[in-house]
Structure 1
Amino acid sequence: METTSAALFISISLVVFGISYYYFTTRHKERMEIIERGLSPDYFKNQSKFLPMLLVLGFSSVGVALGLAAGLALGDLFPTQKFLAVGICIFMGLGLALITSYFALKNTPKKE
């Protein structure tokens, strides 16, 4: 048991390291290529916008939670189809949350 947990920890650490290494080296190469083509280094300032991603993530989390609650409530009404009711409600809640986040993002003013 201890050997498998250590091997799992090491493999997960290697995967995280590999993905982050690939991401940062690729980003560095892209930035160097853009700078070589003549754009100013100020081009990269204020480039990361996490607020839309956080909004979608928040809506999705709430949608999954509400779908799970609705699925469990429907599962009590239909005990033979409880698994199906929970699954359908989770995906329905996630879909409605993504549609809601789309309309919320569409109506936000863009900064130039």
Structure 2
Amino acid sequence: MKQIRNLKFYIMMGPGPVFIALFIIIFGIFYLHYSTRNKERLALIEKGADASIFFSAKVQKKSSVPIWKILILNISVLLMGIGAGVFIGSIIDAYTIIQEEVGYTGSIFLMAGLGLFIGFNLSKKLVEKE
């Protein structure tokens, strides 16, 4: 009987404590990351290390391809993947016994992921070419 009352108490509290706990966890992870990174950098500076070790070679080199071209390329390939996923989902719905929700959802996510992968590879080739 006591367990049922405890369960009712947790149900009545709602999703508020879950979101608060999630916020605290995310804040803790970021705080730990940045405070540790800051302490490591201060220790290296105290020992006389060069500040250039904090930046990789790729960050120092400026890319000649504008970011808007890469963004448009990735968004267009993603949207083409979603469109192809809807088309394939309708084919799956019409010609197989797979449920409509499963066919559409699976094909949309599969083709959107494939579109993101292709967009990433095209962006990488575009940056390497320049």
Fold shared by both chains (TM-score > 0.5): yes
Alignment of 1:86-97 (within 5 A): 86-97=105-116
Which residue number corresponds to residue 20 of structure 2? 10
The root-mean-square deviation of aligned C-alpha atoms, in Å, is: 3.8
Query: Which consecutive residues of structure 2, in runs of 5 or more, have no partner in the other structure?
Result: 1-10
Larger radius of gyration: 2
Is 2:83 the counterpart of 1:69? yes
Contact 1:70 1:86 in 2 (8 A): no
Is 2:124 the counterpart of 1:105? yes
Alignment of 1:30-49 (within 5 A): 30-41=40-51, 44=54
Amino acid of the structure 1 residue aligned with 2:83: A
Q: Deviations over 1:71-95 (max 9, x none)?
A: 2222223324342454244223323
Query: Which consecutive residues of structure 1, in runs of 5 or more, have no partner in the other structure?
Result: none
- State how far apart, in whole Å, the 1-side matches of 2:77 and 2:18 are: 31
Contact 1:59 1:101 in 2 (8 A): yes
Q: Deviations over 1:10-32 (max 9, x none)?
A: 11211121111111112112212
Amino acid of the structure 2 residue aligned with 1:14: I
Indicate how the Cα distance of structure 1 residues 71 and 108 shifts in structure 2: closer, same or farther if over 3 A, else same.
closer
- State how far apart, in whole Å, the 1-side matches of 2:45 and 2:51 are: 7
Contact 1:60 1:98 in 2 (8 A): no
Contact 2:89 2:104 in 1 (8 A): yes
Contact 2:84 2:108 in 1 (8 A): yes
